[in-house]
Structure 1
C-alpha cells in the first residue's frame, strides 16, 4: 500500500509541475507576443498602416522617408499671373511660402503612439478598416505677399486722363487723346492666390484689372470741330481799370469745355469781384445809377457771352437784365451779374461737348461757342420791345430756321424791364 500511495503522490506532484511549467510557458509566450505586437505595430519607428497625407500613402514609412516623399510631391512653385500678354511671377521664397510637411508627418507618426495605450491599440485596429487622412496646410508672410502684389499693381496702373481741347485765338482746333485708367483688383487677385496656394495647383492666374473710363473721351474731343455761335462787343480803352476787369473775367470764363448736360456758372468762374481776386474800381450800374465799384466791366463779358450762347442754341438757366439799358448790347440782350447772387448760367443741351472761348484786345471782346457740326443750328435773335408801366421792356426769343432761312420754331428766352435813368 505504501508503494502505491508513493506513486500517486509522485504523479500529483508531476502534474502540478507540468501545470506550473505550462502556465509559465503561456505567460512567457503571451508576454513575448504582446511585446512583439507593441514593438512591431504600435511603437515601431514607422507610421502605422492606412494613413494618408494629402492623398499620399505614408503607411509603414519612417518620418524621414515620409517627409522626403511629401516634399517631392508638394514643393511650392512660382505663382504665375498674367495680364494682356505680360507675365508676373511671385517666387515662394519671396513670400516665405511653405507647407507643414514635417508637422503633418509627426502627427501621422504619433497617431498610434499617444500616451494612452488603450487608444493606440483601438486606433491600430480601426485602421484595419478605415484609413486616416491628413491635409497639408500652407503658411506664408501676408505682408510680403501684399508687397509683391503692390509691385505688380504699380506696374499695371495707368492714371485716367481726359482728352483735352485747345482752340487758339484764331480758331485753330487741336486736342490731346484721352487715356483709360487701369487699376489692379487687389482683393480678387489675393483671393485667386489664396486658392492657388490652398489647392496646390499652380496654374496661371488671369489678373482682374478694373478700367476707369475718362470723363472726356478722345471721341468727345474730336467732336468739337466747328463754331456754333459768336458775338462781339466793343469797349473804350481809356479806363485801364475797366479794361483790366474785362480782361480778367474774360480769361477766367474762357477755354471751358462743357460736357452734355453740364451747367456753366459765370459767377463761379470769375469769383467774387474783390481786390484780393484782382478786380479794380470802375463804373458799375447800381440801382439805376452809374457809380464807381469793384469789378466794373464784368457784365459786358457776361452780356457778350449771353449773346454767343443764344446764337449757339444753348439752354439759358439763369439770366437777369440790368436796371438800365446797356450801351454795348441791344435792349433785351444784356446779362447782369453781381456778388449778391445774380448770376448768368446756361446748360449744354447737346449730346456732344461744347467749348467756350473768349478773346479780348484793342477794345474788342469776342465770345465764341464751339461744338459738333451735327449740333450747329441756323439761329437768329428776335426782340420784341414794348412799354410796361411806363418803362421800356423787351421779350427775347430764339428763332430756329432751316438752311433756306425759313422759320421752323421760336423759343422764348427772357423778359427785360429797364428803369429810367436818374438825372
Structure 2
C-alpha cells in the first residue's frame, strides 16, 4: 500500500512538471509573435515618416501640379516664383478699331496677378491635412494631376473709366438728314450720319477674359451702329412745293406782330415723316412772357381782351390753310368764337395752350417739310414734299345760319388736270358768335 501511494505521487508530480514546461513554451512563442508584430509596425512607421519627410513634408511642391500652364513639380517656392513672375506679368491691353489702337495699361487699372497666393496653394496642396489625408492626396495628385489658377485683382471703377475714355474717341452721334429751303424756294439737304456707339458691356466682358486667361491678344472693339431716323435718301425726296397760304398782319401792333413772328419761327423748319403728326401747341410751348410772348388782343369767351400770346392764332390759321392745300390729314381744328379779320370764315384755326390744338398728319409715303416766312406784315406758310404727292386742290366754304349765328362748312376739293372735281372731302363746321359789347 505504501509503495503504490509513493508511485502515484511521483506520477502526479511528473505530470505537473510536463504541464509547466508546456505553458512556458507557449508563453515564449507568444512573446516572439508580439515582438515580430511590433517590429513590423515599427518598420511601417519608419517608412511612413521617411516618405512624408522626403515626399510630402519637404520644401518642395508635389509632383504633377501645374500653376496655369506651367509645371511646378518638385520646385521650391522660391524657384517657382522666379519662373512665374515674368511669365505671368500684367501686360498692356490693346484694343483696335478702324486702324487705330487704344491701350489700357496695368497701372491704369491697378492690375496685378496674385502669383504668391497660387504658389502657396500649390505648395500646401499635399501638406494641409493629416498624415493619411496627405498621403491619399499625394497619390491622387500623382495619378490625376492638379491645376491651380492665378487670380487677378484690379480696380473696377478705373477699368470702367478707361473704357469710357476710349468710347469718347470712338463714339459718333447720330445725325438726321436736314431739309432747308432758302428765300427763293431752293431746297437743299444736309446729309445724315450713322452713329457709332462702343458696346461697353461686350468689350468689358472681352477684357475680363483677357485678364483671366492671361492671353493678351489684340481685341477688336465691338461697336453698335445707330441708324438715323431720317436718312439722306428720305430727305432728298422733298423736292416740290405741295401747297402754301399767306396772310397779312400789322407791324404797327408791335406786341401782336412779335407774337406772330415768334410762333411762326417755332413752327417752321419741321420735317414730318410718313404718318407723323404736327402739333402746334407742342412746338410753340406755353405762350407766356417768360417764353418771349407779349400782351396783345385775344378772343376770350366772345370778347377781345389783352393777354400774353395774342396773334398766335393767325399763325395756326395760316398753317391750317397751307396744310389743306397740301393734301395733309387734318386731325384737330377748332374755329374761333368770333370771326377773324385776317382770314375768311371757315378757314381759321383757334389754338389755346392746354386746350384747343391744331394738328395734322403726313398721309404720304414721303416726308413733308413745313416752312414759315414772316416779316414786313406778311406771313407765308409753305409745305414741301415729293412731286408724286402734289395734287390740284381747292377749298370750298358753304356759309349758312345756325340758330341765328353765322356758320360755315369747310370742304376740300380734289381736281383732275382739267379742273374737274373728282373728290370732295368734308373738313369742319364753324359757328361764330356775335361780338359782345
State the TM-score bracket (shorter-chain normalisation).
0.7 to 0.9
- The separation in 2 between residues aligned to 1:240 and 1:93, in whole angstroms, is 66
Question: Displacement of 1:366 after TM fit?
Answer: 1.4
Q: Are 2:327 and 1:303 equivalent residues in the alignment?
A: no
Partner of 2:59: 45
The TM-score with structure 1 as length reference comes to: 0.81
> What are the Cα deviations for residues 295-330 of structure 1, in whole angstroms up to 9, with x where unaligned?
443332222221111001111122122333333323
1:345 Cα deviation from its structure 2 partner: 2.0
Deviations 1:168-216 (A, max 9, x none): 3332333333333322222221211112222233333332222333333
Question: Please, which of 152, 156, 161 is the counterpart of residue 138 of structure 1?
Answer: 152
* Corresponding residue pairs, total: 403
The equivalent residue for 1:256 is 270
SS in 2 for 1:349: coil
Instruction: Identify if the C-alpha distance between structure 1 residues 332 and 203 changes in structure 2 by more than 3 Å, giving closer, same or farther.
Output: same
Q: Note if 1:65 corresponds to 2:41.
A: no
Match of 2:9 in 1: none
Deviations 1:80-131 (A, max 9, x none): 3223333323344443434333332333233344474444444444445443
2:238 matched residue in structure 1 = 224
1:100-249 matches, cutoff 5 A: 100-114=114-128, 116-249=130-263
Q: Which is worse superposed, 212-221 or 392-401?
A: 212-221
Q: Indicate the residue corresponding to 2:346 in structure 1.
A: 332
The gaps in structure 2 that reach 5 residues or longer are 1-31
Distance 2:417 2:107 in 1: 74
In the alignment, does 2:399 pair up with 1:385?
A: yes
Q: Offset of 1:416 from its aligned partner?
A: 1.7
2: CA distance, partners of 1:325 / 1:31: 119
Deviations 1:33-84 (A, max 9, x none): 6665454323333322232332433222233333344456544443332233
How far does residue 229 in structure 1 lie from its aligned partner after superposition? 0.7
The alpha carbon displacement at 1:272 in A equals 4.5
Post-superposition offset of 1:287 = 4.7
Q: Are the structure 2 counterparts of residues 157 and 38 from structure 1 closer, same or farther at C-alpha, using a change threshold of 3 Å?
A: same
Question: Secondary structure of 1:223's partner?
Answer: coil
Q: Distance in 1 between matches of 2:288 and 2:264?
A: 16
1:350 aligns with 2:364: yes
The corresponding residue for 2:337 is 323
Deviation at 1:260, TM superposition (A): 3.2
Q: Give the Cα–Cα distance (whole angstroms) in 2 for the partners of residues 290 and 126 of structure 1.
A: 100
Over the aligned positions, Cα root-mean-square deviation in angstroms equals: 3.5
Q: CA 1:238–1:124 in structure 2 vs 1: closer, same or farther (change >3 Å)? A: closer
SS of residue in 1 equivalent to 2:125: helix
- Which of structures 1 and 2 has the bigger CA Rg? 2
1: CA distance between counterparts of 2:57 and 2:309? 100
SS state at 1:183 partner: strand
Structure 1 residue 397 displacement after superposition: 1.5
Q: Deviations over 1:215-242 (max 9, x none)?
A: 3333343333221110122344454444
Of the three residues 392, 407, 418, the one matched with 2:421 is: 407
Shift of residue 334, structure 1, vs aligned partner? 1.7
Change (3 A) 1:118 1:349: same
Question: Aligned partners of 1:224, 1:344: CA distance in 2, in Å?
Answer: 23
Q: 1:54 aligns with which of 68, 71, 74?
A: 68
Aligned match for 1:314, one of 308, 328, 332: 328
Q: In 1, Cα distance between the equivalents of 2:217 and 2:127?
A: 39
Unaligned runs of 5+ in 1: 1-18
More displaced, 354-363 or 232-241?
Answer: 232-241
Report the counterpart of residue 111 of structure 2 in structure 1. Answer: 97
TM, length-normalised to structure 2: 0.78
Give SS of 1:264's match. Answer: strand
Query: Which residue does 2:382 correspond to in 1?
Result: 368
Q: Distance in 2 between matches of 1:387 and 1:306?
A: 24
